Amino acid sequence: MDETAEQGQATLHMICGKIAAGKSTLAARLAERAGTIRISEDVWLACLYKDEQKTIEDYVRNSRRLREVMGDHVVALLEAGLSVVLDFPANTPASRQWMRSLFERAGADYRLHLLDVPDEVCKARLRARNAAGTHAFNASDAEFDLFTSYFVPPSAEEGFEVALHG
């Protein structure tokens, strides 16, 4: 358990990693801690916009809509003393800036988790996940490559302390 959790400080856990890097697996593990809530973008998008998730543009639009609704909710949970595992990809500076605004508004702590997994491993996991039918959304290798082209790991200039996971 991290030091802030022992002190009772609400923490926003943010996760950065490519498709099939293990973000949701890590999120589930982090959410096992007492006083911690997990909010999964994939679950919400699949429920709210199931038939509207065909292209990357659809994802961007629907993700933005979800973030608009979810922001105040996440802040309220943090202000109530609950830690939140935000199982939304923290994969661009803009997404991380939005997440920063949440923990700063709430006066909460944060942890930015970076999953550093090679593309070949992610693609193998993605193919297995697609075949198993266990995920709300399937993605092809080409879609993996497209989404990965937008991936920007956190930089020192962003000012985050990063917990690296291999």
Give pLDDT, residue 101. Answer: 97
Residue 47 in tokens: 């429920």
Domain count, the chain: 1
C-alpha 103/C-alpha 98 separation (Å) is 9
- Tell me the pTM: 0.87
C-alpha 19 chain-centroid distance: 11
C-alpha 139 chain-centroid distance: 17
Domain that holds residue 147: 3-165
Q: Domain with 71 in it: what CATH number? A: 3.40.50.300
Residue 114 in tokens: 């970076």
User: For 94-123, what is each residue's pLDDT tens digit?
Assistant: 999 999 999 999 999 999 999 999 999 999
C-alpha 57 chain-centroid distance: 18
What are the distances in angstroms from CA 149 to CA 47, 101, 145? 27, 25, 6
Paired residues of 39 in beta bridges: 86
Q: What does R_g of the chain's alpha carbons equal in angstroms?
A: 16
Between the two ends of the chain, the Cα-to-Cα distance in Å is 19
Give 7's pLDDT tier (boundaries 50, 70, 90).
Answer: low
